[in-house]
Amino acid sequence: MQVRAFCVGQFQANCFLVTDPETGASALVDVGEDGEVARRLGERGPARPLEAILLTHAHVDHAGGLAQVQAERDAPTFLGSGDRALFATLPQQGSWFGMPWLDHPTGRVDTWVDDGAIVTVGALRLSFLATPGHTPGHGIWVGTGHAFAGDLVFAGSVGRTDLPFGDPRAMTASLLRLGDLPDATVLHCGHGPDTTVGEEIRSNPFLGALRRARGWPDPAGQGWW
């Protein structure tokens, strides 16, 4: 799996072009808040069409640019079914954050997915692991050795749950699902640098429950959860 990251927009959200090296088939994970990802893909020159657009969740910084991407590189688009209501608010979400210039029409979702759904991109298989909490339909897209984590977890932190539709209890349960992934899995986070499952279980102050389940000590001064 080849992964190219694009850090875009006011929120510095990460979007990822995922390519199967055997076939050249590609998918885009998240699309940013406006047309920047579409422009940057265009700067790469002619390319074969995208096989899929995979959204981790329906916040404006990750899904607001959907219409622009679909206008330039249209592809079947997938999003967790729990985010239907949130997706409908995308044309107003810029104003939630005091950025009304980000209020614009959004694109379409072709397939609403649930936990365990699989999307094939060339020889790659990406599965949807439902991780509600940051949003009701949040999910991470998992391939061999890689997981596109959206706003579930970051290097040293986790996604917030104080926005509309957030659910702290659901987030707590979703974070535990990280323990089902191999420690070497690279986490391509929705903001900030990449990390790994093992590194976050060892050192992330919000993942104390996973450490305790393994009998690992908390780093000094940590272990909040």
pLDDT single digits (tens) 118-164: 999 999 999 999 999 999 999 999 999 999 999 999 999 999 999 99
Tokens of 197: 């499952």
Distance CA 213, CA 3 (A): 32
Is position 16 within any domain? Answer: yes
Question: Is the pTM value of this prediction over 0.75?
Answer: yes
Total domain count, the chain: 1
C-alpha dihedral, 55 to 154 to 142 to 16, nearest 10°: 50
For 196, residues 6+ apart whose C-beta sits below 8 A from its C-beta are: 183, 184, 185, 186, 187
pLDDT in tens, 31-68: 999 999 999 888 875 567 899 999 999 999 999 999 99
Helix (H) or strand (E) holding 170: helix 168-176
In a domain, 174, yes or no: yes
CATH of the domain at 151: 3.60.15.10
